[in-house]
Structure 1
Amino acid sequence: MKAAIITIGDEILIGQIVDTNSSYIAKALDKIGIATQEMLSISDDKQHILSTLKYVQNKFDVVLVTGGLGPTKDDITKKTFCDYFEDHLVENVEVLAHVKDLIESFYKRPITQLNKDQALVPSKCKVLFNKMGTAPGMLMEHEETIFVSLPGVPYEMKYLIDNEVIPYLVQKFERPYIVHKTILTYGRGESLVAEQIEEWENQLPQFIKLAYLPSPGRVRLRLTARGKNEELLKQTIEDQIQLLIPLIGDIIVGYDEEETIEVVVGRKLKEKMVTLATAESCTGGKIAEMLTSVAGASTYFKGGLIPYETEMKTKLLHVKKETIDAFTVVSAEVAKEMALNSKTIFNSDYAIATTGNAGPTKGDSVAEIGTVYIALATPKEVLVEEFNFGQPREKVIDRAVTKALEMVYKEILKN
C-alpha cells in the first residue's frame, strides 16, 4: 500500500514553523505496513489544493492532509474538499454539541458563529471525532483513493491518527508487515563503519534493506524487512544483528530508534545507582538539556552549571584564576578543574565538563577555532580529552555534546 502526506499552510512554506506532522503520520503508517512515498507542502490556495488533490487521486491508496481546518477565513480546506468531491457542507449535531461544550465549559465564553461553523462538514464524509479540539477530521473515499483531512494542530492530529485513522486503516486493509531495527553507534564515522561491515552488508537477504543515518558523532544503522511473515522478518533481522556484533560491537550502544545516547546513559547511570553533574561552557547547557529530556532523569542527574563567561568559571565554579592565566580558559587544566569542582558542588559520582572555541571567533582563548576539551571526573580520577571538531559552530557544539555523553557511557561500562 502506498500513501501520500500533504501539509497545507503558508507558514510551513516560508519557514515560520517546522512540519512535524508529516513525520508523525509517516511513522504511524509505517508501523501498520503502509509505505509513505511522497510528502508535499502546499500553500493555502484553493487552486493549488485542487490541483494537488487531482495529482494524488488514484496514484496513492491513502492520502492524508493536515491543516486548513480552523475557524478563520484563511482556512479553506473543507470548502475546497467540497468543490473537489462535488459535495456540500452540512452541520454535524455531535460535533456542534462538542464545540459548544468545549467553548462554554473550558473557555468560559459564549459560542460564536465562527465556532459553530466548525461543525460544518462535507455531507459525504466520515466524521472523525476530535475530542482534543473543535475541528473534526474528515475521511472521504473517492474512486481508488481514501482521503483523510486532519487539523494541523499537532496534538489534535496525533489524537485523530492514533484513535481514528490507524484503527480504520487496520480494519479496512490487509497489509504487509514492515519491521525496522535501528542499531545506534557512537564514536566512528559513516565511511569507517561502512568499510568494516561491507562484506556483511553484501550478504544481507534481498528482503532486508540497510540505511545509514549519520549525524555528528553517531551513525544509526536501520535494517528494514518487508514481507507477509512477521515472525520470520523479526528473526532474520535478529540473526543478522548477531553477525554484525563481532564486527562493530565496540561502538554499538543501543538497538531502537528511541535508544538515543541520553537514554542509554541515563539507563546505565540508574542501573549502577550513580549520579552525574555537568559544567558546560562551549556547549551552553545542551548536555544537561539532553539528559533532562528523559523522563526520570532526576534519579541520576544532580544538576549543572553554565559558566559561559570566563569570569564566571572562577566565581561560580571556583576554577583558580591562576590556572586560567597560566593555561588559558580553553585548556585541559581548566576542563579538569571544572569537572572536579562540579563533582564537589553537586556531590555527584561523576561530572562532565566542556570548554572550547566553537567559533566563529576565538574569544578569550588562543586555542584554534573548533578546539574543545572535555573532562570527566570519576570516583577515582579525571579523564581529559582534546578534540578539534572543525566548523561550523553548530557542528562543534553538537559533536562536543555527543562526545561528552559517549565518554560518560564508556566510563560507566568499565565499572
Structure 2
Amino acid sequence: MKAVIVTIGDELLIGQVIDTNSVFIGQELEAIGCTVVEKVAISDTIEAIIDTMIRYQNKVDLVVLTGGLGPTKDDVTKKTLVNYFNDELIFNDEVFLHVKKLIEGYYNRPITEMNRQQAYLPSKCTILFNDVGTAPGMLMVKEQTTFVSLPGVPYEMKYLVTEKLLPYIKEQFKLEAIVHKTVLTVGIGESLLAEKIEQWEDSLQPLNIHLAYLPQFGLVRLRLSKTGSSVDAIEAEILQKIRELQLLIPEFFIGITNADSLFNEVVLLLKQSGLTIATAESCTGGSIAQKLTSVEGSSGYFKGSAITYATESKVNILGVQQQTIDTFSVVSEEVAREMAIGAKRIYQADLAISTTGNAGPLKGDGDAEIGTVCMVLAYGDQVESFTFNFGQPRNKVIQAAVEKTWLILYKYLKNKQ
C-alpha cells in the first residue's frame, strides 16, 4: 500500500511553523505496513490543493491531508473537497451538537456562526468524529485513491490518526509486513564506510532489502528495511546480512538498535537497567541534562545536574581540588574525573557523566586547544576518561559533545545487559 502525506498552509512554506504532523503520520503509517512514497507541503489555496490531489489520483492508494480545516474563512479544504468530488456541503446534526457542547461546555462561551459552519460537511464523505476538537476528519474515495482530510492541530490530528484512520486502513487495505533493523557503526565516515561495504550492499539488492545511511556526529546508522508476507522470514534474512556485516567491519560495528536515535536507545536502556544518572556540565551548559529530561518518565532515571560553568563553581559545588586545576588545567581529564565523582556523590546516582572543554571562540580559563572537550563517565568505584577535539564552530563543539555522551552511555549500558 502506497501513501502520500500533504501538509497545507502558507505558515509551513515560510518556516513560521515547523511541520511535525507529517513526521508523526509517516511513522504511524509505516508501523502498520503502509509505504509513504512522498511528503509535500503546499499553500492553502483551492488551486494548490486540487492540483496536488490530481497529481496523486490513482497513483497511490492513500492521500492524507492535514491543515486547512477550522472555523476561519481561510480554511479552504472542505471547499476543495466539494469541488473535486462534485459534491455539496450539508449540515450534520451530530457534529453540530459536539461542537456546541465543546464550545459552550468546555470553553464556556456562546457558539458563533463561524463555529456552526464546522458542522457543514461534504455529503459524500465518511466523517471521522473528532472527540478532542471541533473540526472532524473527512474521508472520501475516488476511483483507486482514498483521500483523508485531517485538522492541522497536532493533538487533534494524532487522535484522529490513531483512533480513526489506522483502524480504517487495517480493515480496508491489504497490508504487507515491514521490518526495519538499524546497525550502529562508529569511528568511520559515511563515504569510507560505503566503500568498505560496497559488495555487501550490492548483495542486498537481490533480496529486496533496502539500505539507508543515517550519519550523525561520530557515528553512522545503517537501516535495513524489507516488506513481505512474513515478519519471521524477513527478520531472518536481515539478521543474516547483519551478521555478515559484523564480520566485514568488526572494528566499527557496535550493535543493533530499532530506536529512531541513539539518544532514545540510551533512554530505553536506562529504563530497562534501573540505573540512575547525574551530570556535571561545563562547556555543554546543561544541554545533556535538558535532553535527558525531555522525555516522559525521566524522573525514574535522572537524579540531577550541576552546571558548573565557572572554574570556581567546580571547586565550590562539585568539590574539584584547586590543586588539580592548577596542575592539569580546568580542561583536563583529571578535572572532569573529579567533576563526575562529585556529581555522582552529591546526587547519589549510579552513574555520572561530566564535560569540561574549550568550545570557543576564546580559550577562557583552560590551556587546551579550542574545540577540546574532556569527558568522564563514573560508575561504581571506576571511571572512564575521554578527550576529543571537535574543531569549530562553537555550536558544533557543544552538539558533538552531547552526541558523544549518548555513544559513551550506550556502550556502557549495552555491556551491562
Question: Structure 2 counterpart of 1:377, which letter?
Answer: A
Write out per-residue CA displacement over residues 307-356 of structure 1, whole angstroms, 9 at most, x where no aligned residue: 23444334433434554455443333332222122122112232111112
The answer as to whether partners of 1:184 and 1:253 remain within 8 angstroms in 2 is yes
- Aligned mates of 1:413, 1:96 — CA distance in 2: 54
Q: Give the match for residue 357 of structure 1.
A: 358
Write out per-residue CA displacement over residues 43-82 of structure 1, whole angstroms, 9 at most, x where no aligned residue: 1223222322222223322111100102112212111222
The answer as to whether partners of 2:390 and 2:396 remain within 8 angstroms in 1 is yes
The answer as to whether partners of 1:187 and 1:406 remain within 8 angstroms in 2 is no
Q: Give the match for residue 137 of structure 2.
A: 137
Deviates more, 1:246-255 or 1:279-288: 246-255
Q: Give the match for residue 115 of structure 1.
A: 115
Q: Give the match for residue 203 of structure 1.
A: 203
RMSD, aligned CA: 2.6
Residue 409 of structure 2 is aligned to residue 404 of structure 1: no
Q: Give the match for residue 258 of structure 2.
A: 256
* 1:224-303 matches, cutoff 5 A: 224-247=225-248, 251-258=253-260, 260-269=261-270, 273-303=274-304
- Aligned mates of 1:177, 1:283 — CA distance in 2: 42
Write out per-residue CA displacement over residues 254-295 of structure 1, whole angstroms, 9 at most, x where no aligned residue: 42134x434444455556554321011222222223333454
Deviates more, 1:315-324 or 1:94-103: 315-324
Aligned in 2, Cα 1:61/1:111: closer, same or farther, shift over 3 Å? same
Q: CA deviation at 1:379?
A: 2.4
Residue 169 of structure 2 is aligned to residue 169 of structure 1: yes
Q: CA deviation at 1:91?
A: 1.3
Q: Give the match for residue 221 of structure 1.
A: 222
Q: Give the match for residue 98 of structure 2.
A: 98
Question: Structure 2 counterpart of 1:282, which letter?
Answer: C
Deviates more, 1:46-55 or 1:292-301: 292-301
Gaps of 5+ in 1: none
Q: Secondary structure at the match of 1:397?
A: helix
Q: CA deviation at 1:161?
A: 1.4
The answer as to whether partners of 1:50 and 1:84 remain within 8 angstroms in 2 is yes
The answer as to whether partners of 1:253 and 1:264 remain within 8 angstroms in 2 is no
Number of matched pairs: 414
Question: Structure 2 counterpart of 1:341, which letter?
Answer: G
Aligned in 2, Cα 1:347/1:192: closer, same or farther, shift over 3 Å? farther
TM-score (norm 2): 0.89
Question: Structure 2 counterpart of 1:257, which letter?
Answer: A
- Aligned mates of 1:272, 1:148 — CA distance in 2: 42
Q: Give the match for residue 335 of structure 2.
A: 334
The answer as to whether partners of 1:187 and 1:403 remain within 8 angstroms in 2 is no
Question: Structure 2 counterpart of 1:140, which letter?
Answer: M
The answer as to whether partners of 1:253 and 1:261 remain within 8 angstroms in 2 is no
The answer as to whether partners of 1:214 and 1:220 remain within 8 angstroms in 2 is yes
Residue 326 of structure 2 is aligned to residue 343 of structure 1: no
- Aligned mates of 1:272, 1:186 — CA distance in 2: 23
The answer as to whether partners of 1:96 and 1:119 remain within 8 angstroms in 2 is yes
Question: Structure 1 counterpart of 2:240, which letter?
Answer: D
